[in-house]
Amino acid sequence: MNPTFPLSPLPAGFDEAALNNLTTGLNAQQLVWLSGYFYGQASAATVPGAQPATAASAPAPAPGEKLTILYGSHTGNGKKVAQQAAESARQRSLSPEVFDMNDYPTRQLAQAENLLLIVSTHGEGEAPVAAEELHRFVLGPRAPKLPKLRFAVLALGDKSYLHFCQTGKDFDQRLGELGGQRLLERVDCDVDYHASAEAWISAALDKISASAPVPVAAAAARVAAVKAEPAPFPAITRTNPWPARVLESIQLNGRGSTKETHHIELDLAGSGLVYAPGDALAVLPVNEDSLVEEVLRAARLSDTAPVTLGNEKSRPLANVLAKRRELTVLTRDVVERYAALTPHAELHALLADTTRLQPYLYGRDVADLLTDFPTDQLTAQVLAETLRPLPSRAYSIASSLLVHPDEVHLTVSAVRYDAHGRRKHGVCSSYLADQISVGDTARVFVETNEYFKLPTNPATDIIMVGAGTGVAPFRAFVEERVELGATGRNWLLFGNPHFTTDFLYQAEWQQHLKRGGLAKLDVAFSRDQAQKVYVQDRLLENSREVFAWLEGGAQFYVCGDKKRLGGAVQAALTEVVRREAGLSAEDAASYVRDLRKQRRYLEDVY
Amino acid sequence: MPDTPKLSEVEIVKDASNYLRGSIVESLGNRITGALNHDDTHLIKFHGSYQQTDRDLDSERKRQKLEPLFSFMIRVRVPGGAATPAQWQRMDELSDTYGNGTIKLTTRQAFQLHGVLKRDLKNTIQGFNDVLLDSIAGCGDVNRNVMAPANPHESAVHRQVYEAAVAISTHLTPRTTAYWELWLNGEQHSTTEPADEEPIYGKTYLPRKFKIALAIPPYNETDIFANDIGLIAVEKNGELLGYNVAVGGGLGMTFGLPETYPRLADLIGFVAADKVVDLCEKVVTIQRDWGNRENRKLSRLKYTIDRVGLPAFQAELNQRLGYDLAPARPYRFESSTDAFGWSGDAAGLSHLTLFIEGGRIHNLPGYALKTALAEIAAFHTGEFRLTGNQNLVLANIEPAHRSRIQAVLEAHGVWPATLRLTALRQNALACVALNTCSQAFAEAERYLPQLLDKLDAVIRAHGLAEAGILIRMTGCPNGCARPYLGEIGLVGKAVGRYNLYLGANYAGERLNKLYREMLDEDGILRELTPLLADYAARRQPREGFGDFVIRQGYVQATTHGQNFHA
């Protein structure tokens, strides 16, 4: 089969016949090799200040300052920013190299001169898996002195966590201690990171470019070249979400369950959206009316009071609260901004004492804060500026696009609880469960997850460990592998409280098991017997087989609650290895660490 | 019979089951489903259990991508219906711990627990085994729970008849050790040991279920003619001489298959009291050898007898007995119902027969039956006797307990509730049907009380509140609540639709006949109202409703199963 290339208009001096003459008899691989060869020749020939080459429509080599861009994040946001930075750098004729931290040879750090580092933070201030090793290396005693280094850190995080952007802070501080010179102060991004990230990129690149001027004409030509390439971002984004129609909404738990899990099917037809198993779908929720009313009442503000967000036209407060502001979760930053408006001594005392603030925040929402510490200093505009933007919520996709063309399925656990005198609902889960029904639309976009992907080799076995809604991506995995006829075996371990009511997608798993789509299926229903049993117990019960699968090259996936599942499964797997390989605890841990390093132990935990 | 008989699926499963083991161990260990492997669903019946689903939820759960809500009914044998207070207490606890919180008293004097999940089967069975109850042969192609009269005060020979029932039950209990091995952690049989033997049944057991009941005239509350073997106690001056023997009863039929029909047992002679167990064994073995194993719809003893002819059957029986049965002795049945309320006996003990609607022991608002009986079980020193009409006799109550029992029943609303009942309601029987029975086409136990509310109004309007008309409802034609022996029989044909049968007699000696088909509730009331009015106006003294409708020509009398459809 002939390779097909995206064809841009041919530059002057070439026509198709001429090209064919030059390339007759070459196969695809040879063509690719040749393109690289001439690319290299051309870059060597380019001298700063010379006339731009006539073949400038080919991606031109950046002759300027070398620049290392490292990213480490769980969701793929870090990668997006890194790619964006690289593009901008090329446009400025810089010479960027982009690495996932997981793949970055740490010894190269000593040689780096310009470094942009983008890293997210997880849970209680932990580094994401991909950044773990570099983080350990840089913060550890073997880290080299870095006198030549100029660097900038972009920290991705979520202000609702106490250890906001901690990993970014760690890198930033330590790189400075090792002799690095800051190109600019670290920037900490909240969940709505896009604007800050763009500003950080251009500020950092300005500093680097300032020391390496590039001829204007050459830069312009390269910009033109870059523009000819396909846009790196899909058209459907956070700022341009797709209004997906709800095709189906089913409560998956049987009667009497303590759980409430919804299976939601959305229509993507016409959106051009694509996803792969392991990706997530982000949903832009809308706060429920009753909560908006509660906040308005507590704030003693009118629903129609005008609010202006950024450069946008003015909108009524109720609309801004419903669609643009986080109300269900109360976070430290909001309390800090709010406290600045009011002299409540108790509120300031709370902020001063972390041990008291955390319990206060727990289970409280914005309405609680406004009720507990009322103020008359509030205007609609000030309230809107005090609150956080309403972030999207991402759900691991539960369907394979191959099996359900133009559809995306989600498995959503409805979060509901009573706290501080009111019934509370998770903003997005209740939006999906209660507010929208079949025929309505929800605003969505795809968030790719670089790490949580099926093996590229269809013959590779996979072990999937999922608890609760953590089973979602595995439904997509198995559907996809069955549809593709992948020969690797699929083993699912699933856990939830009760067999009769909480065996999510039970009938589908039974069919897969019957038809070979699943080679093995093990379940743990924690509350069906006096002694609680979890998926990690099933791993241990099957230790011989688990280990045999791993030794045979299997990939191991975990999806579910980070606190309750992530650590327990890792501990169980380590024990499996210790037991079956006859290793010390330390060597078993290192075996498991290697699995992670090789991207054969993959987590999607939240 | 065809030259190359094609055995039914169940026969093949039994044959391959290694004396009822099949793959039940594997089925129980499979955590992916609440069901058993298909073949094991046949075998589990022999262990006393039916796999069922909550049919109310079937379509809802399918949409939820969940399998049907599988659970198990466990039928616990109570030979002769006599349970101890300790046994009652245990069943009460087990129903709460593993079942759906209720106990069903069956029309064959057994306990049924419903809604037991697969993973709890073993614990449940161990739970009642601790109090010397079992469920082996509760269902399946074997002899089922043996019935006997429940009222000890009614006859001096009661104890002997009851003991005969227990002896027959014990003799015909399967000998396989599979039950003990599977449920009670009995020793696994090593492969070098000789396999189990079933000296009476053989390894494929009977072609179909087999039922035996005993009665002491003039009461026929065990409906002996509905059984494969009916035994009528014959006494003289308080001494038990033996039993008149009736064979070939059975009520099940299939809609649309006229070759299937309910049939009452034929009286074939008299057997001495000490030969009755042997007689039962011989009848069982004839059915084992002669019964139809190709078509389960035609495999009961009644069809075997009608196929070979009663004389041929009798000749074979006499041959196997080694003697000829004596001619049957005269007897007379007066009723097939229970006598409710308090009674006493010469020994100074009291007995209380309680009406249990639908045989269901549960708590309702203002009517805490289950709680009341559990309280009574804590101090009662007599028995809890289950009647063949789904009712309960608190038997052999010591004098000091009589008022205490009365007080408990009053405190929990049980006693007052019984006072408001018409005789029609007290005599009503209903099978379980929806939502758990897989056979049911229509409601029975859950619906009959509502229908009775409406019929009671008609009954009272015509001054018939004391008329003990037998009304029986089932959700399918298989006959569990003996609908073809109802003076009013209602057999479910579709959801909300019933066939109406009339003309059985009050003592269980004549089958009824189809009167109207596919009636909804309005239709049932429309048809029965004028009949009841007519009965109130024109009945003769002591004339039963079933006799009346025949005398008035509403239906023809059914004189034999083979003319039931005529």
Task: Using an 8 Å CB-CB cutoff, list chain B residues near A251.
Answer: 64
Nearest to B426 by CA among B484, B340, B363: B340
* Whole-number pLDDT of residue A23: 58
How far from A516 is each of A473, A524, B43, B93, CA to CA, in Å? 19, 21, 28, 43
3-state secondary structure at position B431? coil
Task: Using an 8 Å CB-CB cutoff, list chain A residues near B100.
Answer: none
Say which residues have a Cβ less than 8 Å from residue B213's Cβ, sequence separation at least 6.
Answer: B146, B147, B148, B222, B223, B224, B226, B227, B229, B230, B231, B388
CATH number of the domain that A279 lies in? 2.40.30.10
Indicate whether A49 belongs to any domain.
no
Nearest CA in chain A to B61: A254
B280 labelled catalytic: no
The residue from B90, B108, B209, B360 that is catalytic is: B209
- pTM value is 0.83
pLDDT higher than 50, residue A50: no
The interaxial angle of helices A216-228 and A77-91, nearest 10 deg, is: 140
The residue from B300, B476, B493, B510 that is catalytic is: B476
Q: Does residue A566 share a domain with residue A479?
A: yes
* Whole-number pLDDT of residue A74: 75
Q: Does residue A270 share a domain with residue A150?
A: no
Q: Does A252 touch chain B (CB under 8 A)?
A: yes
Q: Are B455 and B468 in contact (CB under 8 A)?
A: no
- Tell me: the pLDDT tens digits for B208-217? 999 999 999 9
- Tell me: the pLDDT tens digits for A477-499? 999 999 999 999 999 999 999 99
Q: Does residue A262 share a domain with residue A379?
A: no
Q: Kindly state the tokens that stand for A105.
A: 């040879």
Instruction: Give the percent of chain B with pLDDT over 90.
Output: 93
CB contact under 8 A, B66 and A529: no
pLDDT higher than 80, residue A466: yes
Q: Does residue A306 share a domain with residue A199?
A: no
Q: Does A529 touch chain B (CB under 8 A)?
A: yes
Cα distance between residue A486 and residue A476, in whole Å: 14
Q: Do you know the residue count of chain B?
A: 566
* Whole-number pLDDT of residue B4: 64
Q: Does residue A76 share a domain with residue A185?
A: yes
* Whole-number pLDDT of residue B38: 96
Task: Using an 8 Å CB-CB cutoff, list chain B residues near A525.
Answer: 31
Indicate whether A367 belongs to any domain.
yes
Q: Does A198 touch chain B (CB under 8 A)?
A: no
How far from A397 is each of A244, A264, A415, A509, A524, CA to CA, in Å? 14, 10, 18, 17, 23
Q: Are B153 and B382 in contact (CB under 8 A)?
A: no
Q: Which among A503, A528, A529 has CB closest to B66?
A: A503
Cα distance between residue A186 and residue A206, in whole Å: 15
Measured in Å, how far apart are chain A's first and last C-alpha atoms?
A: 43
Nearest CA in chain A to B67: A507
Q: Does A500 touch chain B (CB under 8 A)?
A: yes
- Tell me: the pLDDT tens digits for B382-413? 999 999 999 999 999 999 999 999 999 999 99
Q: Are B475 and B437 in contact (CB under 8 A)?
A: yes
Q: Kindly state the tokens that stand for A108.
A: 């190269």
Say which residues have a Cβ less than 8 Å from residue A183's Cβ, sequence separation at least 6.
Answer: A114, A150, A151, A152, A204, A207, A208
Q: Kindly state the tokens that stand for B498.
A: 């019933």
Say which residues have a Cβ less than 8 Å from residue A514's Cβ, sequence separation at least 6.
Answer: none
Indicate the pLDDT class of residue A41, thresholds 50, 70 and 90.
Answer: very low
**Matching residue, tokens 């309601």:** B425
The runs of H, that is alpha helices, within A488-565 are: 499-502, 506-515, 535-541, 543-551
Q: Does A503 touch chain B (CB under 8 A)?
A: yes
Is B341-420 in the same CATH topology as B9-321?
Answer: no
3-state secondary structure at position B28? helix
Q: Is the peptide bond before B218 cis (omega within 30 degrees of 0)?
A: yes
Q: Does A264 touch chain B (CB under 8 A)?
A: no
Q: Does residue A98 share a domain with residue A224?
A: yes
CATH number of the domain that A601 lies in? 3.40.50.80
Amino acid at B459: I
Q: Does A523 touch chain B (CB under 8 A)?
A: yes
B118 labelled catalytic: no
Q: Which residues pair with B385 in a beta bridge?
A: B82, B393
Q: Which residues of B lie inside 8 Å of A (Cβ-Cβ)? A: 31-34, 57, 60-67, 69, 117, 119
* Tally of CB atoms within 10 A around B14: 27
Angle at B169 between CA B164 and CA B173, to 5 degrees: 150
pLDDT, average across residues A380-397 = 96
DSSP B104-140: EE-TTS-EEEEEE-GGGHHHHHHHHHTTT-B-TTSSS
Cα distance between residue B236 and residue B217, in whole Å: 12
B209 labelled catalytic: yes
Which of A386, A411, A435 represents a domain boundary (last residue)?
A386
DSSP state of A563: I
* Whole-number pLDDT of residue A212: 63
Q: Does residue A212 share a domain with residue A94?
A: yes
pLDDT higher than 70, residue A79: yes
Residue of B31, B54, B70 for testing the chain A interface, max A β-carbons within 10 Å: B31
pLDDT higher than 60, residue A38: no
The residue from B108, B211, B282, B370 that is catalytic is: B211
Closest-CA distance of chain B to residue A496, Å: 13
Residue B368 phi, psi (nearest 5):
-90, 65
Cα distance between residue A235 and residue A242, in whole Å: 9
CB contact under 8 A, B65 and A254: no
Q: Does residue A413 share a domain with residue A485?
A: no
Structural domain count of chain A:
4
A58 or B114, higher pLDDT: B114
Q: Which residues of chain B have pLDDT under 50?
A: 1, 188-193
Nearest to B504 by CA among B527, B522, B481, B526: B481
Q: Does residue A372 share a domain with residue A224?
A: no
CB contact under 8 A, B119 and A521: no
Q: Does residue A279 share a domain with residue A414?
A: yes
Q: Are B368 and B101 in contact (CB under 8 A)?
A: no
Q: Is the dihedral of CA B425, B426, B427, B430 positive or negative?
A: positive
Alpha carbon B79 to its chain centroid, in Å, reads: 12
Domain around A530: 462-605
Size of interface A-B (CB pairs under 8 A): 49
Indicate whether A597 belongs to any domain.
yes
* Whole-number pLDDT of residue A17: 58
What stretch of H or E contains A580? Answer: helix A567-581
Nearest CA in chain A to B58: A254
What stretch of H or E contains B414? Answer: helix B414-419
Indicate the pLDDT class of residue A55, thresholds 50, 70 and 90.
Answer: very low
Instruction: Give the percent of chain A with pLDDT over 90.
Output: 68
Indicate the pLDDT class of residue A15, thresholds 50, 70 and 90.
Answer: low
Q: Does A530 touch chain B (CB under 8 A)?
A: no
pLDDT higher than 50, residue A425: yes
CB contact under 8 A, A254 and B33: no
The alpha carbons of chain A give a radius of gyration, in whole angstroms, of: 27
3-state secondary structure at position A423? strand
pLDDT, average across residues A278-286 = 97
B139 labelled catalytic: no
CB contact under 8 A, A505 and B65: yes
Q: Which among A500, A506, A529 has CB closest to B65?
A: A506
B282 labelled catalytic: no
Say which residues have a Cβ less than 8 Å from residue B437's Cβ, sequence separation at least 6.
Answer: B52, B431, B475, B476
Closest-CA distance of chain B to residue A459, Å: 26
Q: Does residue A406 share a domain with residue A345?
A: no
CB contact under 8 A, A510 and B64: no
Select B341-420's CATH number: 3.90.480.10, 3.30.420.40, 3.40.50.1370, 2.60.40.10.
Answer: 3.90.480.10
Cα distance between residue B195 and residue B208, in whole Å: 23
The residue from B90, B144, B302, B513 that is catalytic is: B144
Task: Using an 8 Å CB-CB cutoff, list chain B residues near A529.
Answer: 119
A51 or A109, higher pLDDT: A109
Say which residues have a Cβ less than 8 Å from residue B395's Cβ, sequence separation at least 6.
Answer: B82, B150, B151, B152, B349, B351, B382, B383, B384, B385
CATH superfamily of B424-563: Sulfite Reductase Hemoprotein, domain 1 (3.30.413.10)
Task: Using an 8 Å CB-CB cutoff, list chain B residues near A478.
Answer: none
pLDDT higher than 90, residue A29: no
CB contact under 8 A, B69 and A521: no
Say which residues have a Cβ less than 8 Å from residue A282's Cβ, sequence separation at least 6.
Answer: A238, A241, A392, A393, A394, A395, A444, A445, A446, A447
Q: Which among B34, B57, B65 has CB closest to A507?
A: B65
Closest-CA distance of chain B to residue A253, Å: 7
The residue from B14, B21, B45, B75 that is catalytic is: B75
pLDDT, chain A, mean = 86
CB contact under 8 A, A521 and B34: no
Cα distance between residue B425 and residue B460, in whole Å: 12
CATH number of the domain that A375 lies in? 1.20.990.10
pLDDT, average across residues A526-554 = 97
B437 labelled catalytic: yes
CB contact under 8 A, B32 and A510: yes
- Tell me: the pLDDT tens digits for A165-196? 999 999 999 999 999 999 999 999 987 788 88
DSSP A302-319: -TT-EE--TTSPPEEHHH
Indicate the pLDDT class of residue A209, thresholds 50, 70 and 90.
Answer: confident
Q: Which among B34, B63, B65 has CB closest to A499?
A: B34
Q: Does A506 touch chain B (CB under 8 A)?
A: yes
The ipTM value here is 0.90
Q: Kindly state the tokens that stand for A439.
A: 């025929």
* Whole-number pLDDT of residue B241: 96
> What fold characterizes domain B9-321?
Sulfite Reductase Hemoprotein; domain 1 (3.30.413)
Cα distance between residue B395 and residue B246, in whole Å: 29
Residue ranges covered by each domain of chain B: 9-321, 341-420, 424-563
- Tell me: the pLDDT tens digits for A332-365? 999 999 999 988 999 999 999 989 999 999 999 9
Q: Does residue A535 share a domain with residue A481?
A: yes
The interaxial angle of helices B85-97 and B369-377, nearest 10 deg, is: 140
Alpha carbon A188 to its chain centroid, in Å, reads: 16
How far from B350 is each of A407, B215, B222, B379, CA to CA, in Å? 73, 21, 22, 15
**Matching residue, tokens 């790619």:** A83
B476 labelled catalytic: yes
Indicate the pLDDT class of residue A59, thresholds 50, 70 and 90.
Answer: very low
Nearest to A464 by CA among A409, A366, A365, A398: A398
CB contact under 8 A, A499 and B67: no
Cα distance between residue A340 and residue A319, in whole Å: 25
